[in-house]
Amino acid sequence: MPFPVTRTIAPKPIPSDVGNTFGAYFTDHMFVMDYTEGRGWHNHRIGPFGPIPVHPSCSAIQYGQSIFDGYKAYRCDDGIIRLFRPKAHLERINRSTARLCMPAIEPDTVLDAMVQLVGLDRDWVPHQPGKALYVRETMIGTEGFMAVRPAKTYTFMIFLSPVGNYYAEGADPVKILVSDKHVRAARGGIGAAKAAANYSASLLATEEAKALGHTQVLWLDSVERRYLEEVGTMNVMLKVGDEIVTPPLTDSILPGVTRLTALHLLREWGLKVSERQIAIDDVLAGIEDESIEEIWGLGTAAVVSPIGELTYRGRSRVVGGGKIGPTTAKLYDAITKLHTQAGNDPYGWRVDVL
Ligand SMILES: Cc1ncc(COP(=O)(O)O)c(C=O)c1O
């Protein structure tokens, strides 16, 4: 659909190397559209990136009616910029909005806006391997009122950030603290939505873990504090003997697109893959008897992140000798090739920008 594009009159210098940063820079333009009950989405536009005015009593600020999503655009080795699985992320946005009583977006219109926006800011897509342009979509309730009910007006935005490694460790194994004090998301709550509130819920435990020298937190279920849910802002997988195990999706786990991609590949490779609950006691016992040699996290930001050490109730255990294991490495390699290797799109997951 055609909509107005206003180019910035003050383009910023493009950082020559985004290094080990994530989310430190923003490109020159953003896409915005507004929603009013009874009228639907309107006022679609691309304009200069910058602050937006919000009512101090809008539902996003007061009651947390705020969701987001994110994925990456890659500069492939044939020079073409491609979005990776944008359609899966657009579907997830509409599951998030439904959970928070927010309006659905129209996926084709938004995909078109993404392609136009990334095309406009194409020079910001990093050239270095392992780096990419992160595409962030956000929806906020904008109506100013003071009652706990869904807003009648919303704004949806897309903006872009050139990114490097999410973790300073890069692809090196990270140290994880198992949290049995705090939970990320409650059963019956909004954990399966990419709601801003889930991330505020995670901050204290993560800060406490970092203060103790860990990179991230491994979240257990909210009822028994026993079953693995996620690790930091990633889904989690383990190699238990010759079986790959990942927790089944529940209403407290974010259904990751990278998890979906990995499950697809692992099954295609003929490996035994189970989506089943796994208790922390079994994980610790498995690390000790070496039946668990690999644990890894999966997410857009870090792609595949090996876990080298788990600390639970004051005791640390090294996983797989603290090194990246063969399944983790193979997955990392296969997924990054799907991101950037020319001609390697067997499942039709990529969308060309230009
Ligand atoms: C809580 C949480 N879990 C899992 C993921 C991984 O999801 P995806 O692979 O779609 O990036 C993310 C990142 O988006 C996340 O924030």
CATH number at residue 107: 3.30.470.10
The domain boundary residue, chosen from 144, 164, 184: 164
- Is residue 353, in this structure, part of any structural domain at all? no
Q: For the segment 100-126, what is each residue's pLDDT rounded down to a tens digit?
A: 999 999 999 999 999 999 999 999 999
Structure-block tokens of residue 78: 């044939």
Is the Cβ atom of 257 under 6 angstroms away from ligand 1?
yes
- Is residue 1, in this structure, part of any structural domain at all? no
Is the Cβ atom of 258 under 6 angstroms away from ligand 1?
yes
Q: How far apart are the first and last CA of the chain?
A: 18
Q: CA nearest 328: which of 287, 297, 349?
A: 297
pLDDT of residue 130: 87
Contact by Cβ (8 Å): 132, 164: no
pLDDT of residue 244: 98
Do residue 178 and residue 156 come from a single domain?
A: no
- Is residue 2, in this structure, part of any structural domain at all? no
Do residue 147 and residue 228 come from a single domain?
A: no
Do residue 238 and residue 133 come from a single domain?
A: no
Do residue 155 and residue 183 come from a single domain?
A: no
Do residue 202 and residue 297 come from a single domain?
A: yes
Distance 230 CA to ligand 1 centre (A): 9
Do residue 297 and residue 184 come from a single domain?
A: yes
Do residue 182 and residue 242 come from a single domain?
A: yes
pLDDT of residue 16: 78
Do residue 184 and residue 92 come from a single domain?
A: no
Do residue 128 and residue 221 come from a single domain?
A: no
Do residue 242 and residue 272 come from a single domain?
A: yes
pLDDT of residue 169: 66
- Is residue 3, in this structure, part of any structural domain at all? no
pLDDT of residue 193: 98
Is the Cβ atom of 256 under 6 angstroms away from ligand 1?
yes
Q: CA nearest 248: which of 192, 330, 319?
A: 192
pLDDT of residue 35: 98
The domain boundary residue, chosen from 108, 133, 164: 164
pLDDT of residue 352: 97
Do residue 152 and residue 216 come from a single domain?
A: no
- Is residue 187, in this structure, part of any structural domain at all? yes
- Is residue 100, in this structure, part of any structural domain at all? yes
Is the Cβ atom of 262 under 6 angstroms away from ligand 1?
no
pLDDT of residue 170: 66
pLDDT of residue 167: 67
pLDDT of residue 223: 97
Range of the domain at 118: 29-164
Distance 147 CA to ligand 1 centre (A): 31
Give start and end residues of each alpha helix (H) in the chain.
59-63, 86-99, 107-120, 196-211, 257-268, 280-288, 326-340
Measured from the Cβ of residue 55, the count of other Cβ atoms closer than 10 Å reads: 16
pLDDT of residue 43: 98
Alpha-carbon distance 59 to 146, whole Å? 8
Spell out the per-residue pLDDT of the chain, length 354, in tens: 789 999 999 999 998 777 667 888 999 999 999 999 999 999 999 999 999 999 999 999 999 999 999 999 999 999 999 999 999 999 999 999 999 999 999 999 999 999 999 999 999 999 988 899 999 999 999 999 999 999 999 999 999 999 987 766 667 899 999 999 999 999 999 999 999 999 999 999 999 999 999 999 999 999 999 999 999 999 999 999 999 999 999 999 999 999 999 999 999 999 999 999 999 999 999 999 999 999 999 999 989 999 999 999 999 999 999 999 999 999 999 999 999 999 999 999 999 998
Q: Which of 83, 233, 332 to mutate to test the pocket of ligand 1 (most atoms within 8 A of CB)?
A: 233
The domain boundary residue, chosen from 133, 164, 195: 164
Do residue 35 and residue 110 come from a single domain?
A: yes
- Is residue 169, in this structure, part of any structural domain at all? no
- Is residue 141, in this structure, part of any structural domain at all? yes
CATH code of the domain covering residue 216? 3.20.10.10
Q: For the segment 272-286, what is each residue's pLDDT rounded down to a tens digit?
A: 999 999 999 999 999
Rg (CA), the chain: 21
Is the Cβ atom of 233 under 6 angstroms away from ligand 1?
yes
Structural domain total, the chain: 2
191 Cα nearest atom in ligand 1: 1
